[in-house]
Structure 1
Amino acid sequence: MDIDFNKNGDGLVPVIIQDFITRQVLMLGYMNKEAYKKTIDNSRVTFYSRTKQRLWTKGEESGNFLNVVSIKNDCDNDTLLIKVKPMGPTCHKGSDTCWNETNRQYFGFLSELENVIKSRRVNANSEKSYVASLFEKGINKIAQKVGEEAVETVIEAKDDNDDLFLNESADLLFHYLILLQAKGFSLKDIVKVLEGRHK
């Protein structure tokens, strides 16, 4: 990899550390050539400390190592993006990230939709909505709706109308998210099961 360690005149390049699974940015550090080589050799992120004027492997004291998954150079060859599997909190203050954020999986709009469903479930008695009404009717009605939507999705899959198939698929996924909430689970629980099977 062609890394321009001399561009800034100090022999260092900034390194963005990102969780491989959650895509959360965990921290920013710096590397010189020696730190980069040690990172490659050990598959654990090693930085160059500008304050201590030495190499330091993240986790060498705490045990919270950053295991390397991949390393990418940016378009100017002067900044690295390292995707890692963290072995614990990343920040020296004990938080998941150096911005004091929780390092959790985020599924984009589906996570937002889960939050809306959760809100409607919590406020089911005071809120008028389709979701709230399903929660009021109970688990049997919710499970029945998932079954109905699954059958409709299968029927549309056998036809050639992509628009109808996608709409039924969306209905199925929406009602499945409601069912997960009704059972006290979320997408992250399903992902955990799938990850366990993947190993």
Structure 2
Amino acid sequence: MTLNDLFDTIQARKVADPKSSWTAQLLAKGPEKCAEKFGEEAIEAIIEAVKGDKAGLTSEAADVLYHLMVMLAARDVTLADVLAELESRQAQSGIAEKAARS
């Protein structure tokens, strides 16, 4: 499964019966709940990274990617939007990009 496939599945769940899937339930609770779940998963991934648990980090990273995409879908931001933003940043260095934000 690619990230595009996963995002397409998440998008399809936006109109699904919340009783039919975890994703549909999460989306039905609104963008704030989706953001909260993303934050929880990010913290769990950080903990596994600090512990040096490769298997744990791998599992939590999958959760982070999933919950990030659910959060994006809840706010009608597409994976293509995010990828386009990343592509636009390739032309400049990370240091220059950070400086431009200040």
| Secondary structure, counterpart of 1:176 in structure 2 | helix
Aligned to 1:180: 72
Uncovered stretches (5+) of structure 2, i.e. residues with no partner = 92-102
Q: Distance in 2 between matches of 1:138 and 1:187?
A: 19
Q: Distance in 2 between matches of 1:187 and 1:150?
A: 18
Letter of the 2:83 partner, please give it. Answer: V
1:124 CA drift (Å): 3.6
1:140 CA drift (Å): 0.9
- Structure 1's consecutive aligned runs of 4 or more residues displaced over 6 angstroms after TM superposition are none
Letter of the 1:169 partner, please give it. Answer: A
Structure having greater relative contact order (Cα 8 Å, sep ≥ 6): 2
1:160 CA drift (Å): 2.4
1:155 CA drift (Å): 0.6
1:159 CA drift (Å): 1.1
Letter of the 1:195 partner, please give it. Answer: E
More helix by share: 2
Q: Determine which structure has more spread, i.e. the larger CA radius of gyration.
A: 1
Aligned to 1:17: none
Number of equivalenced pairs: 91
Aligned to 2:85: 193
More strand by share: 1
TM-score, structure 1 as length reference: 0.43
Matches within 5 A, 1:21-170: 109-124=2-17, 127-170=19-62
> Does the CA-based 8 Å contact 1:135-1:142 persist in structure 2?
yes
